[in-house]
Amino acid sequence: MKKIIVTGGSGFIGNNLVDFLIRKNFFVINLDKFTYASYNPKTSIRNKKNYKLIKTDINNKNLILKILKKYRPRAVFNLAAETHVDRSIDGPKNFIQTNINGTFNLLETLRILRKKKINPKLIHISTDEVYGDIKKSERSNENQKYKPSSPYSASKAGADHLVKSYIRTYKINAVISNCCNNFGPYQFPEKLIPKIISNIFKNKSLPIYAKGKNSREWIYVDDHCEALFRLYLKGKNGESYNVGSGINLQNIDLVKKIIKIFKTMNIKIGNKSKIKFVKDRPGHDFRYALNSNKILRELKWKPKVKFDEGLKKTVIWYLNNKNFLNRIKNKNYEKRLGLKL
Protein backbone atom coordinates (compact mmCIF):
# COMPACT_ATOMS: atom_id res chain seq x y z
CA MET A 1 0.00 0.00 0.00
CA LYS A 2 1.36 3.43 -0.96
CA LYS A 3 2.21 5.66 2.00
CA ILE A 4 1.55 9.37 2.50
CA ILE A 5 2.43 11.59 5.44
CA VAL A 6 0.12 14.41 6.52
CA THR A 7 1.50 16.91 9.02
CA GLY A 8 -1.24 18.55 11.05
CA GLY A 9 -3.58 15.72 10.11
CA SER A 10 -5.74 16.18 13.21
CA GLY A 11 -6.74 19.72 12.37
CA PHE A 12 -9.73 20.84 10.32
CA ILE A 13 -8.44 20.36 6.77
CA GLY A 14 -6.08 17.62 7.97
CA ASN A 15 -8.83 15.33 9.26
CA ASN A 16 -10.78 15.71 6.03
CA LEU A 17 -7.66 15.07 3.95
CA VAL A 18 -6.71 11.97 5.97
CA ASP A 19 -10.12 10.39 5.33
CA PHE A 20 -9.98 11.42 1.68
CA LEU A 21 -6.58 9.73 1.17
CA ILE A 22 -7.64 6.57 3.00
CA ARG A 23 -10.61 6.32 0.62
CA LYS A 24 -8.06 6.51 -2.20
CA ASN A 25 -6.38 3.40 -0.70
CA PHE A 26 -3.32 5.07 0.78
CA PHE A 27 -1.73 4.25 4.13
CA VAL A 28 -1.73 7.61 5.92
CA ILE A 29 0.75 8.57 8.64
CA ASN A 30 -0.62 11.55 10.56
CA LEU A 31 1.97 13.69 12.40
CA ASP A 32 0.22 16.08 14.76
CA LYS A 33 1.27 18.04 17.84
CA PHE A 34 -2.29 17.99 19.23
CA THR A 35 -2.84 21.63 20.11
CA TYR A 36 -6.16 23.10 21.23
CA ALA A 37 -7.86 22.73 17.81
CA SER A 38 -6.77 19.13 17.13
CA TYR A 39 -9.30 16.33 17.08
CA ASN A 40 -8.97 12.57 16.66
CA PRO A 41 -12.28 11.29 15.25
CA LYS A 42 -13.27 7.64 15.53
CA THR A 43 -14.25 7.25 11.89
CA SER A 44 -15.16 3.82 10.62
CA ILE A 45 -12.72 3.91 7.71
CA ARG A 46 -9.58 4.35 9.86
CA ASN A 47 -7.85 1.20 11.11
CA LYS A 48 -4.37 -0.19 11.73
CA LYS A 49 -4.10 -1.32 8.14
CA ASN A 50 -4.49 2.16 6.65
CA TYR A 51 -3.73 4.73 9.34
CA LYS A 52 -1.05 5.60 11.88
CA LEU A 53 -1.23 8.56 14.26
CA ILE A 54 2.06 9.83 15.68
CA LYS A 55 1.89 12.66 18.20
CA THR A 56 4.87 14.87 17.52
CA ASP A 57 5.91 18.44 16.85
CA ILE A 58 7.01 19.37 13.33
CA ASN A 59 9.91 21.15 15.04
CA ASN A 60 11.22 17.79 16.32
CA LYS A 61 13.56 17.44 13.37
CA ASN A 62 15.27 14.22 14.49
CA LEU A 63 12.00 12.37 14.97
CA ILE A 64 10.54 13.69 11.70
CA LEU A 65 13.67 12.49 9.89
CA LYS A 66 13.40 9.07 11.55
CA ILE A 67 9.72 8.75 10.58
CA LEU A 68 10.32 9.68 6.95
CA LYS A 69 13.24 7.24 6.72
CA LYS A 70 11.07 4.46 8.14
CA TYR A 71 7.95 4.97 6.03
CA ARG A 72 9.48 6.40 2.81
CA PRO A 73 6.22 8.12 1.79
CA ARG A 74 5.29 9.01 -1.77
CA ALA A 75 4.30 12.49 -0.59
CA VAL A 76 4.16 14.81 2.41
CA PHE A 77 1.18 17.13 2.75
CA ASN A 78 2.24 19.96 5.06
CA LEU A 79 -0.81 21.18 6.98
CA ALA A 80 0.93 21.73 10.33
CA ALA A 81 0.13 25.35 11.12
CA GLU A 82 -1.34 27.86 13.50
CA THR A 83 -4.15 29.47 11.51
CA HIS A 84 -6.36 31.86 13.51
CA VAL A 85 -5.61 35.50 12.65
CA ASP A 86 -6.94 36.91 15.92
CA ARG A 87 -4.78 34.49 17.89
CA SER A 88 -1.73 35.61 15.88
CA ILE A 89 -2.43 39.22 16.84
CA ASP A 90 -2.49 38.32 20.53
CA GLY A 91 0.59 36.10 20.35
CA PRO A 92 2.65 35.85 17.15
CA LYS A 93 5.36 33.60 18.66
CA ASN A 94 3.60 30.26 18.12
CA PHE A 95 2.89 31.21 14.52
CA ILE A 96 6.56 31.89 13.84
CA GLN A 97 7.61 28.65 15.57
CA THR A 98 5.15 26.38 13.77
CA ASN A 99 4.51 28.03 10.43
CA ILE A 100 8.04 29.21 9.66
CA ASN A 101 10.43 27.19 11.86
CA GLY A 102 8.33 24.04 11.44
CA THR A 103 8.36 24.36 7.67
CA PHE A 104 12.11 25.00 7.80
CA ASN A 105 12.67 21.79 9.79
CA LEU A 106 10.54 19.80 7.37
CA LEU A 107 12.47 21.21 4.40
CA GLU A 108 15.79 20.42 6.08
CA THR A 109 14.59 16.85 6.60
CA LEU A 110 13.67 16.56 2.93
CA ARG A 111 17.05 18.01 1.93
CA ILE A 112 18.86 15.35 3.98
CA LEU A 113 16.67 12.57 2.58
CA ARG A 114 17.25 13.68 -0.99
CA LYS A 115 20.96 12.94 -0.54
CA LYS A 116 19.90 9.38 0.38
CA LYS A 117 17.78 9.06 -2.76
CA ILE A 118 14.55 9.44 -0.77
CA ASN A 119 12.59 12.23 -2.44
CA PRO A 120 8.89 12.42 -1.52
CA LYS A 121 6.83 15.14 -3.12
CA LEU A 122 6.00 18.01 -0.75
CA ILE A 123 2.56 19.59 -1.10
CA HIS A 124 2.83 22.75 0.98
CA ILE A 125 -0.58 24.17 1.88
CA SER A 126 -0.80 27.94 2.17
CA THR A 127 -3.48 30.63 2.07
CA ASP A 128 -4.94 33.43 -0.03
CA GLU A 129 -4.18 35.81 2.84
CA VAL A 130 -0.54 36.11 1.73
CA TYR A 131 -1.73 38.35 -1.13
CA GLY A 132 -3.34 40.87 1.22
CA ASP A 133 -6.25 43.18 0.38
CA ILE A 134 -7.67 42.81 -3.13
CA LYS A 135 -9.70 45.48 -4.92
CA LYS A 136 -13.30 44.65 -5.77
CA SER A 137 -12.65 44.33 -9.50
CA GLU A 138 -9.53 42.15 -9.11
CA ARG A 139 -8.50 38.60 -8.24
CA SER A 140 -5.03 37.46 -7.15
CA ASN A 141 -3.09 35.23 -9.52
CA GLU A 142 0.01 33.19 -8.72
CA ASN A 143 2.37 35.92 -9.99
CA GLN A 144 1.01 38.59 -7.68
CA LYS A 145 3.37 40.00 -5.06
CA TYR A 146 2.76 38.99 -1.45
CA LYS A 147 1.39 41.70 0.86
CA PRO A 148 0.58 39.96 4.16
CA SER A 149 -1.20 42.07 6.77
CA SER A 150 -1.29 39.94 9.93
CA PRO A 151 1.32 37.93 11.83
CA TYR A 152 -0.51 34.82 10.61
CA SER A 153 -0.37 35.70 6.92
CA ALA A 154 3.21 36.94 7.27
CA SER A 155 4.23 33.60 8.79
CA LYS A 156 2.58 31.72 5.93
CA ALA A 157 4.21 34.02 3.37
CA GLY A 158 7.58 33.39 5.00
CA ALA A 159 7.03 29.63 4.84
CA ASP A 160 6.06 29.87 1.16
CA HIS A 161 9.27 31.74 0.36
CA LEU A 162 11.31 29.12 2.23
CA VAL A 163 9.72 26.34 0.19
CA LYS A 164 10.43 28.19 -3.05
CA SER A 165 14.06 28.75 -2.03
CA TYR A 166 14.57 25.04 -1.24
CA ILE A 167 13.03 24.08 -4.58
CA ARG A 168 15.48 26.29 -6.46
CA THR A 169 18.59 25.81 -4.31
CA TYR A 170 18.33 22.20 -3.16
CA LYS A 171 16.05 20.78 -5.89
CA ILE A 172 13.37 19.72 -3.41
CA ASN A 173 10.34 18.22 -5.16
CA ALA A 174 7.51 20.50 -4.04
CA VAL A 175 4.40 22.43 -5.04
CA ILE A 176 2.50 25.16 -3.17
CA SER A 177 -1.25 25.56 -2.84
CA ASN A 178 -2.77 28.93 -1.91
CA CYS A 179 -6.38 28.30 -0.98
CA CYS A 180 -9.32 30.49 -0.06
CA ASN A 181 -11.43 30.09 3.11
CA ASN A 182 -12.44 26.47 3.75
CA PHE A 183 -15.57 25.29 5.53
CA GLY A 184 -16.99 21.92 6.49
CA PRO A 185 -16.70 19.23 9.21
CA TYR A 186 -14.15 19.34 12.06
CA GLN A 187 -13.52 23.11 12.01
CA PHE A 188 -12.80 24.56 15.46
CA PRO A 189 -15.49 27.07 16.52
CA GLU A 190 -13.24 30.12 16.63
CA LYS A 191 -13.69 30.46 12.85
CA LEU A 192 -16.76 32.29 11.54
CA ILE A 193 -19.02 29.50 10.23
CA PRO A 194 -18.69 27.02 13.13
CA LYS A 195 -18.73 29.95 15.58
CA ILE A 196 -22.12 31.11 14.29
CA ILE A 197 -23.50 27.55 14.25
CA SER A 198 -22.22 26.90 17.79
CA ASN A 199 -23.66 30.17 19.12
CA ILE A 200 -27.07 29.38 17.63
CA PHE A 201 -26.96 26.03 19.44
CA LYS A 202 -26.13 27.86 22.69
CA ASN A 203 -28.60 30.74 22.15
CA LYS A 204 -25.78 33.30 22.14
CA SER A 205 -25.30 36.44 20.06
CA LEU A 206 -23.82 36.11 16.56
CA PRO A 207 -20.72 38.34 16.43
CA ILE A 208 -19.61 39.94 13.16
CA TYR A 209 -16.65 42.30 12.85
CA ALA A 210 -17.36 45.96 12.05
CA LYS A 211 -20.42 46.15 9.76
CA GLY A 212 -19.98 42.72 8.20
CA LYS A 213 -18.91 44.06 4.81
CA ASN A 214 -15.58 42.18 4.66
CA SER A 215 -15.60 39.77 1.71
CA ARG A 216 -14.14 36.25 1.60
CA GLU A 217 -14.02 33.51 -1.00
CA TRP A 218 -15.33 30.16 0.25
CA ILE A 219 -14.69 26.54 -0.73
CA TYR A 220 -16.09 23.33 0.74
CA VAL A 221 -13.25 21.34 2.30
CA ASP A 222 -13.86 18.20 0.17
CA ASP A 223 -13.18 20.23 -2.96
CA HIS A 224 -9.93 21.50 -1.43
CA CYS A 225 -8.88 17.92 -0.64
CA GLU A 226 -9.56 16.92 -4.25
CA ALA A 227 -7.42 19.85 -5.44
CA LEU A 228 -4.56 18.86 -3.13
CA PHE A 229 -4.72 15.30 -4.41
CA ARG A 230 -4.57 16.64 -7.97
CA LEU A 231 -1.44 18.61 -7.01
CA TYR A 232 0.11 15.39 -5.73
CA LEU A 233 -0.69 13.55 -8.95
CA LYS A 234 -0.02 16.23 -11.55
CA GLY A 235 1.25 19.42 -9.93
CA LYS A 236 4.42 20.65 -11.63
CA ASN A 237 7.50 20.80 -9.42
CA GLY A 238 8.24 24.34 -8.25
CA GLU A 239 4.83 25.75 -9.16
CA SER A 240 2.22 27.50 -7.03
CA TYR A 241 -1.49 26.94 -7.61
CA ASN A 242 -4.38 29.06 -6.37
CA VAL A 243 -7.34 26.97 -5.21
CA GLY A 244 -10.63 28.83 -5.08
CA SER A 245 -14.31 28.56 -5.88
CA GLY A 246 -14.90 32.01 -7.34
CA ILE A 247 -17.68 32.47 -4.76
CA ASN A 248 -17.28 35.61 -2.62
CA LEU A 249 -19.61 36.62 0.17
CA GLN A 250 -19.66 39.46 2.65
CA ASN A 251 -19.65 38.18 6.22
CA ILE A 252 -23.09 39.63 6.96
CA ASP A 253 -24.60 37.75 3.99
CA LEU A 254 -22.90 34.52 5.05
CA VAL A 255 -24.33 34.71 8.56
CA LYS A 256 -27.80 35.42 7.17
CA LYS A 257 -27.50 32.29 5.00
CA ILE A 258 -26.71 30.18 8.08
CA ILE A 259 -29.71 31.61 9.91
CA LYS A 260 -31.91 30.86 6.90
CA ILE A 261 -30.74 27.22 6.84
CA PHE A 262 -31.75 26.78 10.49
CA LYS A 263 -35.16 28.28 9.76
CA THR A 264 -35.80 26.17 6.65
CA MET A 265 -34.92 23.07 8.71
CA ASN A 266 -37.46 24.20 11.34
CA ILE A 267 -34.77 24.42 14.02
CA LYS A 268 -35.67 26.93 16.70
CA ILE A 269 -33.36 29.91 17.06
CA GLY A 270 -33.30 31.40 20.56
CA ASN A 271 -34.11 35.04 21.25
CA LYS A 272 -30.47 35.82 22.09
CA SER A 273 -29.10 34.52 18.80
CA LYS A 274 -29.17 37.80 16.94
CA ILE A 275 -26.49 39.44 14.81
CA LYS A 276 -24.20 41.64 16.86
CA PHE A 277 -21.62 43.91 15.26
CA VAL A 278 -18.40 43.96 17.29
CA LYS A 279 -15.16 45.94 17.17
CA ASP A 280 -13.09 45.15 14.10
CA ARG A 281 -9.74 43.37 14.35
CA PRO A 282 -6.59 45.48 13.88
CA GLY A 283 -5.35 45.57 10.28
CA HIS A 284 -8.36 43.61 9.02
CA ASP A 285 -8.10 42.96 5.27
CA PHE A 286 -11.33 43.92 3.52
CA ARG A 287 -11.39 41.43 0.63
CA TYR A 288 -9.64 38.28 -0.56
CA ALA A 289 -10.31 36.81 -4.00
CA LEU A 290 -8.36 34.30 -6.09
CA ASN A 291 -7.90 33.76 -9.78
CA SER A 292 -7.83 29.94 -9.98
CA ASN A 293 -7.65 29.62 -13.76
CA LYS A 294 -4.23 27.95 -13.61
CA ILE A 295 -5.33 24.82 -11.72
CA LEU A 296 -8.53 24.65 -13.77
CA ARG A 297 -6.59 24.91 -17.02
CA GLU A 298 -3.49 22.83 -16.28
CA LEU A 299 -4.77 20.18 -13.85
CA LYS A 300 -8.43 20.05 -14.94
CA TRP A 301 -9.66 20.61 -11.38
CA LYS A 302 -12.76 22.54 -10.48
CA PRO A 303 -14.94 22.61 -7.35
CA LYS A 304 -17.96 20.32 -7.36
CA VAL A 305 -19.88 21.35 -4.24
CA LYS A 306 -22.07 24.43 -4.64
CA PHE A 307 -21.76 26.89 -1.78
CA ASP A 308 -25.34 26.64 -0.47
CA GLU A 309 -25.19 22.84 -0.67
CA GLY A 310 -21.90 22.74 1.25
CA LEU A 311 -23.16 25.17 3.87
CA LYS A 312 -26.25 23.06 4.54
CA LYS A 313 -24.10 19.91 4.75
CA THR A 314 -21.89 21.71 7.28
CA VAL A 315 -24.82 22.75 9.48
CA ILE A 316 -26.18 19.18 9.37
CA TRP A 317 -22.76 17.76 10.30
CA TYR A 318 -22.54 19.96 13.41
CA LEU A 319 -26.13 19.08 14.30
CA ASN A 320 -25.23 15.39 14.14
CA ASN A 321 -21.87 15.83 15.88
CA LYS A 322 -22.57 18.12 18.80
CA ASN A 323 -20.01 16.14 20.80
CA PHE A 324 -17.36 17.84 18.65
CA LEU A 325 -18.42 21.18 20.14
CA ASN A 326 -19.39 19.92 23.59
CA ARG A 327 -15.89 18.49 24.20
CA ILE A 328 -14.50 22.04 24.34
CA LYS A 329 -14.68 22.69 28.08
CA ASN A 330 -12.26 25.63 28.28
CA LYS A 331 -14.40 28.77 28.20
CA ASN A 332 -11.33 30.83 27.21
CA TYR A 333 -11.91 29.68 23.64
CA GLU A 334 -15.17 31.63 23.62
CA LYS A 335 -13.44 34.90 24.49
CA ARG A 336 -12.83 37.55 21.85
CA LEU A 337 -9.21 37.60 20.67
CA GLY A 338 -7.20 39.93 18.47
CA LEU A 339 -7.64 43.15 20.43
CA LYS A 340 -4.26 43.31 22.16
CA LEU A 341 -2.11 46.14 20.84
Quick one: pLDDT at residue 328? 83
Residues 268-300 pLDDT 10s: 999 999 999 999 999 999 999 999 999 999 999
- Cβ–Cβ under 8 Å, residues 337 and 279: no
Section 132-157 average pLDDT = 96
Mean local confidence (pLDDT), 151-177: 98
- The percentage of residues in the chain with a pLDDT greater than 90, rounded to a whole number, is 94
Cβ partners under 8 Å of residue 78, min gap 6: 7, 8, 103, 106, 122, 123, 124, 125
Contact predicate 126/156, CB 8 Å:
yes
- Asked whether the whole model's pTM tops 0.85, one would answer yes
Tell me which of 19, 82, 86, 129 is the catalytic residue.
Answer: 129
What letter does residue 297 receive in the DSSP assignment?
H
Is 129 an annotated catalytic residue?
Answer: yes
Task: Quote the crossing angle between the two packed helices 61-71 and 103-115, to the nearest 10°.
Answer: 50
pLDDT at 42: 84
Mean pLDDT of 97-104: 98
Give tens-digit pLDDT for 313-339.
999 999 999 999 988 866 566 666 666
pLDDT value at residue 3: 98
Dihedral over alpha carbons 11, 196, 227, 28 (to 10 degrees): 20
Single out the catalytic residue among 152, 220, 232, 318.
Answer: 152
Per annotation, catalytic residue among 128, 160, 217, 226: 128
What's 3-184+219-246+286-305's CATH class? alpha beta
- Is 128 among the catalytic positions? yes
Q: CA–CA separation, 239 vs 254, rounded Å?
A: 32
Has residue 341 got a pLDDT over 60?
A: no
Q: What angle do CA 168, 170, 176 make, to 5 degrees?
A: 55
Q: DSSP of 174-226, one letter per residue?
A: EEEEEE-EEESTT--TTSHHHHHHHHHHTT--EEEETTS--EEEEEEHHHHHH
| pLDDT for res 67 | 98
